[in-house]
Amino acid sequence: MATHKSAKKRIRTNDRKRVINQQGATRIKSSVKKVLATTTKEEAEKLYKEAVSVLDKGTIKGLIKQNTASRKKALITRHLNKLQTDKPAAK
């Protein structure tokens, strides 16, 4: 157990940062999962913009690395491109 005053403070700050980082990681995972769970293109486009924003913010804050964010963006972009619009195809 910590005995120095500064060590005790470090434990408290680490606990606060750990909770904040967990929340950020959860937000990233949830936003990506929401996009992948969509079946309509309109809904997916709306959630896609939000997910990309969350990924970029997570990269800036140091929650995830740039390559990880890029990989997740590519994954949700592929999903978005696979979805068909609800309009009938022209012949």
Q: Which residues contact 34 (CB under 8 A, 6 or more apart)?
A: 47, 51
Per residue in 41-73, pLDDT tens? 999 999 999 999 999 999 999 999 999 999 999
Whole-Å CA distances, 2 to 10, 39, 40, 86? 9, 52, 54, 61
pLDDT of amino acid 77: 96
Average pLDDT, the chain: 92
Whose tokens are 């924003």? That residue is 53
Q: Is the pLDDT of residue 82 over 70?
A: yes
pLDDT at residue number 2: 83
